[in-house]
Amino acid sequence: DIQMTQSPSTLSASVGDRVTMTCRAGQSIGYWLAWYQQKPGRAPNLLLYKASILESGVPSRFSGSGSGTEFTLIITSLQPDDFATYYCQQYSTYPWTFGQGTKVEIK
Amino acid sequence: EEQLVESGGGLVQPGGSLRLSCAASGFSFSSYWMHWVRQAPGKGLVWVSRINTDGSGINYADSVKGRFTISRDNAKNTVYLQMNSLRAEDTGVYYCARSRGPGATCVGYWGQGTSVTVSS
């Protein structure tokens, strides 16, 4: 199975901050990576797919980059609605695998 | 409006069985691959299984292979997850989800989940 490792596990930030989190794959997955946002008690929500393509309706302050084994999710100017847990997922090879998540907390 | 509504969760003893259902509406169900993803209490997301549009292509996570079976009924717009030989570590919320677009794309839309508790 392809292991996905996210860092940091927890991130403390303030409204207006630029936030960066990373996702590393145990082997090359090309650009077959998605990012999801999950709030407590809610289902996840797709933010980006193919590493950098913004899903329809997702604010442009979210952006993604990377290919191969290293990927980044950036939130420019963090908003109150963005405090949540973020997961990356590879869909290059079965079984698909998620990272363990990065929780964005209020500083 | 697009909807995925899971049902069938509940409390079951170790070694028991449950069948989860996911009723889809608001989109062309037969055109999309469907997935099950689970989340143990306080833990991260774990992809469980996927099925393609006509049921001819199926994959499972290693942790459920041989115990869980995914299936679909396109006439009923429903996907199922038959779970046998349940273990305590199968406890969690089970989400039904569809691919973002037709074919092999990432998970794009999720149901609200159904809770499964495996305990004696």
pLDDT of residue B10: 97
Could you report the per-residue pLDDT of A31-59, keeping only the tens digit for each?
999 999 999 999 999 999 999 999 999 99
Q: Which of B47, B100, B112 sits opposite A98 (nearest CB)?
A: B47
The pair of three-digit structure tokens given for residue B62, joined into one six-digit string: 């290693």
Q: Tokens 């919320």 correspond to what residue? A: B93
> Whole-angstrom Cα distance, residue B70 to residue A16?
44
Q: Specify burial of residue A17 (Cβ count, 10 A radius: 0-12, 13-18, 19+).
A: middle
pLDDT of residue B104: 74
φ, ψ of residue A50 to 5 degrees: the values are 45, 45
B84 to chain A nearest CA, in Å? Answer: 20
The mean pLDDT value for B26-40 works out to 97
Confidence of residue B23 (pLDDT cuts 50, 70, 90): very high
pLDDT of residue A83: 94
**What does the radius of gyration of chain B's CA atoms come to, in whole angstroms?**
13
> Whole-angstrom Cα distance, residue A78 to residue A107?
12
Confidence of residue A101 (pLDDT cuts 50, 70, 90): very high
Residues of A in contact with B107 (CB under 8 A): 34, 36, 46, 89, 91
Q: Look over chain A and give the mean of its residue pLDDT values, rounded to a whole number.
A: 97
Q: Look over chain B and give the mean of its residue pLDDT values, rounded to a whole number.
A: 97
Whether the CB of A1 is below 8 Å from some CB of chain B: the reply is: yes
Q: Which of A43, A46, A95 sits opposite B47 (nearest CB)?
A: A95
> Whole-angstrom Cα distance, residue B29 to residue B50?
14
pLDDT of residue B103: 75
> Whole-angstrom Cα distance, residue A6 to residue B3?
30
Could you report the per-residue pLDDT of B46-103, keeping only the tens digit for each?
999 999 999 999 999 999 999 999 999 999 999 999 999 999 999 999 999 999 988 7
The set of residues, in sequence order, having a beta carbon less than 8 Å from that of B75 and lying 6+ positions away, is none
| Closest A-chain CA to B4 | A43
> Whole-angstrom Cα distance, residue B15 to residue A40?
30
Q: Do A87 and B107 touch (CB under 8 A)?
A: no
B103 to chain A nearest CA, in Å? Answer: 12
